[in-house]
Chains A and B, each alone.
Chain A
Amino acid sequence: MTTPPSDERPARSDRSPWNWLLLVPIVIPLVPALYNSDEPRLLGFPLFYWLQLAFIILGVTATTIVYQVGKKRSGR
C-alpha cells in the first residue's frame, strides 16, 4: 500500500462554536409555557398550533447554518 495511514493526514474536526446554534431548536419547542394558549389566533389557528408549526423554521435555519459553515470551513 502506498497510501499513508490516515492518522498522518491533517485531522478533520467537527468542532465549531456555530454548533451551539443547534441548541436553540432543541430547547425552544420543549418549553410549553411559550405556546400553551388558544389566543392569539392566526388564520383561525390557536397559538398552540401555529407557533409550533413556526418552530420548524427555527430548526431548518439552525441546521442549514451549521451545515453551510461546516462546508466552508472544510473548504468544500
Chain B
Amino acid sequence: MSDHITEIVVFTILFLAVSGMGFVAARWHRPDNLASLDEWGLGGRKFGSWVTWFLVGGDLYTAYTFVAVPALLFGAGAMGFFALPYTIVMYPLVFLVLIRLWSVSHVHGMVTPADFVRARFGSPTLALLIAITGLMATMPYIALQLVGIEAVLKTMGVTGDLPLIIAFAILAAYTYQSGLRAPALIAFVKDALIYLVIIVAIIYIPARLGGWGSIFDAAKAKFDASPAPGDGIVLNPNNQLQYVTLALGSALALFLYPHSVTGVLAARSRGVVKRNMSALPAYSLLLGLIALLGYMAIAAGIKPITANGKADANTVVPLLFDKMFPDWFAGVAYAAVGIGALVPAAIMSIAAANLFTRNIYKEYIKRDATDAQEAAVSKIASLVVKIGAVLVILLIDPQFSIDLQLIGGVIILQTLPSVGLGLYTRWFHRSGLIAGWAAGMAAGVLMLYNVANPATSHAHFGGSAFPLAKLGLDTKMTIYAGFLALAVNLVVAVAGTLLARAGKVADGVDATRPSDYVADEGDPRVHEIELSGSH
C-alpha cells in the first residue's frame, strides 16, 4: 500500500473537494424552496445549454463505461468498439423524439417516462409496468458505478468495504440535500478531469509504447495467438450482426432509461435539447479514445488483478495508469474515474426516486400528496436506492450486478413501444402494449438465460450475444438479445391492438393534444405548469 501513497493522497483530496461542491450546490440559482419535485428532482427545469451538456454527458458516459469498455476491447477486441457507433447513431435517432417528450412533459408537468404513458394511454397499469421496468433497469446500473470506484481502489491497494461505504455515504448526503443541482455542478469538474486525463493519455502513452501502429499490432498479435474464435482487431462474419444490433439496440435503449429522461427534462427549452443533440457527440470522440486504452493495456503488457482465481478485467485501465503515469497524475486519473461514478449515481438515484414517488407513491399510496410531500418522499427514496445499491455490491458477488445490468438494457428496451412510439402515435391499444411488454420481457430474459460464456465459465447470462443457431438456423451468427426481444414485443403489441379493437375492448383516454408535442418555452401553457409546479 505504501508505494501508492501519493496516488491515494491526490485521489482523496480531489474526491473530498468535489464532495464539498455537492453540498454547496443547493445554493446555486437558489429557488425560494427546494420542496418540490420540479426543484429537487429537476433542478427547477431551467438548465441552459452548457449545464445540460455537462449533465447529460455526465449521466450517459459513466465511470463504469470508462472502466468496462476498454476492458471489453482488452478481452475481445473489435466487438467492444460497438460503443462508438452506438453513441454516434443515438443522437440523430432521438433528436426529433426527445423534443416531443420535452414539450409534452412541460405542458403536463410530467417528471418520468411513466407519467407520460399514464397520460397518453390512460392506463395506470401500463404506467406502473413502465415505472417498475425503469426501477429494475436503473438499480443495478447504480450498483455498477461502485464497480468503477472499486476497480480504482483495488489498484491503489486499498482493500476492505469501508472506503466504498464512505464514498457512497457522502454521495447520499449531498444528493439528499441538493437534489439534481449537485450532479449538475459536479459534472463540470468530472468532465474537466476526464478530458485532461484522456488527452494526456492519448499523447503520452502511445509515445512511450512506440506509436499507435505498434499498439494495434500488439493487440492483433494477442488476438491471433488466442484460441478464442470471436476476437480480433476487426469483426468476423459471425459477429457483425451482433455488432450492429447491439449498437442500434443500445442507442434505442439509452434515452428510455429514466435518468437520461431526467437530464433532458431539466433543460430550459427545446432549443437547449436540440443544441445538445449536436454537441453531445464530442463525448463520443472521448469514448472512442477511452476504448482504445484497452489496446494500450495490451501493448503495455498489463495483467489484470486476480482475486479468488478470477481475473478482474475492470482493473486493466487503472493498472495502465499506474504503470504509465507518474504517481501524482495517476492519482488525478483515479479521481476522475471515482468522481465520474458520483455524477451518474446521483442522477440515477434521483430518477429512480422520482419514479417511485410519482408512479407508485402518488398513484397508489397517497393520491393527494402535496409538492412538499412528493419532494420529501423522493429524497428518502433516493437514500433507500443508494443503500440498496451498496448492499447489493457488498453482499452479493459483483458479477450479479453485471448480469443484472445486462438484463436491464434488454428490459428497458421493452418500454420503447409505449414511450418512444407513443410519442408519435396513439394507434396502439393499452392492452396490446401490456401484452407486448410481457412477451418482450419474457423473451428477452429467456434468451439471456440461454447465453453461455465459456471464457467466464458462465452457463447462463454469459452476455447479450444470442446465437441464432438456438432458433434452429444453420449459422454461427449471433444477434443482440434485446433486439430480438423488441421484435417479439412489437409483433405482440400490434396483434394485441388489432384483437382488442376487434373485440371492442375499452381503450384509455388520451389526455394529451397534438399541439402539446410542439409547445416551447414561452408558450402560455408551458409557463402555466412551471408557475403552479414550483411556487
Contacts and interface: CB of A to CB of B under 8 A. Distances in A.
Pair from one complex? yes
Contact of A30 (B89, B91, B95, B214): B89
A71 B524 CA distance: 20
B89 A26 contact: yes
Interface in A8-65: 9, 11-14, 19, 22-26, 29-32, 36-38, 41, 43-46, 48-49, 52-53, 55-56, 58-60, 62-64
Interface string B496-511: 0000000000000000
Nearest to A64: B278
B277 A63 contact: yes
Given A19-B96, A45-B212, A67-B274, A29 B81 contact: no
Contacts of B100: 14
Interface string B520-532: 1001110000000
Contact of B234 (A38, A53, A67): A38
B40 to A, nearest CB: 29
Given A37-B234, A63-B277, A71-B271, A48 B78 contact: yes
Given A6-B515, A52-B85, A60-B281, A22 B95 contact: yes
A7 B515 contact: yes
B89 A29 contact: yes
A14 B518 contact: yes
B255 to A, nearest CB: 14
A49 B515 contact: no
Interface in B267-314: 271, 274-275, 277-278, 281, 284-285, 288, 292
Contact of A25 (B88, B233, B235): B88
Given A11-B515, A38-B233, A48 B81 contact: yes
Q: Is the interface of A mostly helix, strand, loop or mixed?
A: helix
A35 B522 CA distance: 46
Contact of A29 (B88, B216, B520): B88
Interface residues of B, number: 46
A67 B519 contact: no
A7 B275 contact: no
A46 B233 contact: yes
- Listed residue (A23, A31, A60) with the most chain B CB atoms within 10 angstroms of its CB: A60
A57 to B, nearest CB: 9
Interface stretch (B242-250, B324-332, B397-405): B242-250
Contacts of A41: 213, 216
Given A22-B95, A52-B81, A59-B281, A32 B524 contact: no
B491 interface: no
A71 B240 CA distance: 38
Interface string B198-241: 00000000000001111110001000000000000111000010
Contacts of A32: 235, 240, 243-244
Contacts of A55: 85, 88
Nearest to B77: A48
B234 A56 contact: no
Contacts of B274: 63, 67, 70
Q: Which of B85, B89, B92 has the most CB of A within 10 A?
A: B92
A56 B281 contact: yes
B319 to A, nearest CB: 22
B96 to A, nearest CB: 6
Contacts of B243: 32
Nearest to A35: B234
A11 B514 CA distance: 10
Contacts of B88: 25, 29, 52, 55-56, 58-59
A30 B248 contact: yes
Given A11-B518, A25-B88, A30-B85, A46 B216 contact: yes
Given A6-B515, A60-B281, A46 B234 contact: yes
Contact of A6 (B277, B281, B523): B523
A67 B99 contact: no
A4 B271 CA distance: 24
B446 interface: no
A53 B99 CA distance: 27
Given A46-B216, A66-B95, A67-B275, A36 B84 contact: no
A42 to B, nearest CB: 9
Interface string B40-56: 00000000000000000
Nearest to B292: A49
B93 interface: yes
A22 B92 contact: yes
A45 B216 contact: yes
A12 B525 CA distance: 14
Nearest 3 Cβ contacts at the A-B interface: A44-B213, A44-B212, A63-B278
21 contacts: A6-B523, A7-B513, A11-B515, A12-B515, A12-B519, A22-B96, A25-B92, A29-B89, A29-B247, A32-B244, A36-B235, A38-B233, A44-B213, A48-B78, A56-B88, A59-B281, A60-B281, A63-B278, A67-B274, A67-B275, A67-B278
Interface of A: 3, 6-7, 9, 11-14, 19, 22-26, 29-32, 36-38, 41, 43-46, 48-49, 52-53, 55-56, 58-60, 62-64, 66-67, 70-71, 76
Given A14-B99, A59-B92, A63-B95, 14 more contacts: A7-B515, A11-B518, A25-B92, A29-B85, A30-B247, A44-B211, A44-B215, A46-B233, A48-B78, A52-B84, A52-B88, A53-B285, A62-B92, A63-B92
Interface of B: 78, 81, 84-85, 88-89, 91-93, 95-96, 99-100, 211-216, 220, 233-235, 240, 243-244, 247-248, 271, 274-275, 277-278, 281, 284-285, 288, 292, 513, 515, 518-520, 523-525
